[in-house]
Structure 1
Amino acid sequence: MAHAPTLPEHILVVDDDSRIRQMLSRYFEEEGYRVSLAGDGGEMRECLDKQSADIILLDLVLPGEDGLTLARDIRARSDVPIIMLTGRNDVVDRIVGLEVGADDYIAKPFHLREVLARVRGVLRRRQPRSLSSVGDPQSEIYRFEGLRLDVGRRQLLSDDGREIPLTTGEFDMLCVLVKHAGRVLQRELLMDLTRGRNLEPFDRTIDAQIARLRRKIERDPNQPALIKSVRGVGYVFSARTTRHEA
C-alpha cells in the first residue's frame, strides 16, 4: 500500500510588518517549510481555523490584541509551539511571554539563520522519538508522586491515564529536573540544558517557566513539594523517582 506523502511542517507568522512577514515567508519556504501569514489576531484565527500550524512566530506588538493576549488565547486551546518576536529589549516582556505559554523568544532585529535554528530546535524537541531501540535513552520512563513521565512519547500522565498538557519548554524543563533529581541546578545550567544558550544579565525566564510548571504538577503551587527553590542558586527536584525502560 502506498503511503501518503508527508506534508512539510507548517509555520504561521503573525506580524503587522509586511516586510518582516514576506522576508520570513520567502526564507522558510526556501528551506522547505509551508508558511502562512497574518497581520493581526483576526487574520491569525482565520488561518488557524483553516489549518493547524506546527509552530507560530508571534510578534509581541500588534494592532488591537497584542501578542501576549493572542498567546494566552492560543495556549487556552492548543499546545502548538509559540516563539515570540519582540522589538523591545525588556526582560519583563520576555518573562510574561513565557508565563503565558510561549516556548521561546527572539529579539528584533534578528538574523534569519538564528530564527531557523530556534524553529528547528523547538520542533525537534517536540517530535516524539522512536521507542523501538533497547537502551535508547529517549525510551526512558520516570515515575514520581502519581505521575508518569514518558520521555520518548513526550507525555506526562497521571496514574489514571489522564494526560497533563505541557508546552515544549515546560516538558524540556521537567525532563532536566527529573533526570537530575536531588541535585541543585543553577539557573544558568537550566538555561543551557533546555535552550542551548546562556542567560542574559538579570534574565528570569527560567523562573517564569518553573512557575508555569509548578501550576501544572504541584498539589499546592504556593507551597511546592516537587520543585523546590534554593535561594540565590536555582532549583532542585526533590521527589523520589523511579526510572524504567519502555
Structure 2
Amino acid sequence: MPFAPVPVAPRVLVVDDHRKIREPLAMYLRRHTFEVRTAEDAAGMWQLLKTQAFDVVVLDVLLPDGDGFELCNQLHRRSNNPVILLTARDTAADRIRGLDLGADDYVTKPFEPRELVARINSVLRRQGRNTGPSTLSNGARAYHFAGWHFSVSNATLCRDGAPAIQLSTAESRLLQVFLNHPNTLLHRERLIDLTAAADSDVSDRAIDRQVSRLRRKLAQGDAAPDLLRTIWGGGYLLAAEVSECTP
C-alpha cells in the first residue's frame, strides 16, 4: 500500500526593512511549519519572486525603495499573489485603500505573531490550501501507521490481537494532525492552531494533557515503540510512516 505524501509546507515571503521585526517573525512562522523566505526591500522581493513561487506575501507598507500599497497592486496585477499588508497606520482609509488595491488582509503593528499566523491560515483556506481543523483529515477516511489502523469516521484505533480503542473528539483531532504531518516537529502553538475550534481558547497545558492521553493509548504492549515523542524545548513528533487506507 503506498504511503501518503507528506503535506508540503505553505511558502511565505516576509518583506520588511526592520530586521528586528523581519527575522523573529520568520523564525516564529517556521516554528509553525511554514517555509519562509525574507526580503528587506522591494528589490529583494522581486528578485525572490523571479525564481520562487510563494503562497502568501507578508508585505510592509513602508519600504525604503517602494510604497507597499503600490507594490501590493503590482503583485495583484502581475501574479495574483495573496498579500497581507503590515502597517503602523490604523486608519479606515488605509485599510480600504489596501483592500481596494488587492490586499487579502491587513495587520496593524504592533501585532501578536499568532494573529498573523491565523490570518495567513485564513488566506490559505480561501486559496484552497489545507491548513486547519476544517480539513484535518486531508481527504483520508482512515490511516495505517506502526501497526495501527485509525478510522476517522468513528474515531477508533485498532490493531491485530487487541481490542479497539475509542478516542475522544480532542484526541481524534490531535491524532489526525500528527498523521497529516508524520516525522515532523510540531510546536505547541502550531498544534493549538490546527486543532482548536475558532471560538475556543486552548492552552499549552491542555495540549500537553491531550498528547499524554493519546501517547498512553498508543503505548499498547510491552514492545510498543515510542510513537509520540517529546522534543524538549520544541514540541512533539509522530515517529512513524503513515499511509492512507480504506476504513
**TM-score normalised to structure 2 length:** 0.50
Q: Which has the higher contact order (CA 8 A, sep 6+)?
A: 2
With the length of structure 1 as denominator, give the TM-score of the two structures.
0.50
Higher alpha-carbon Rg? 2
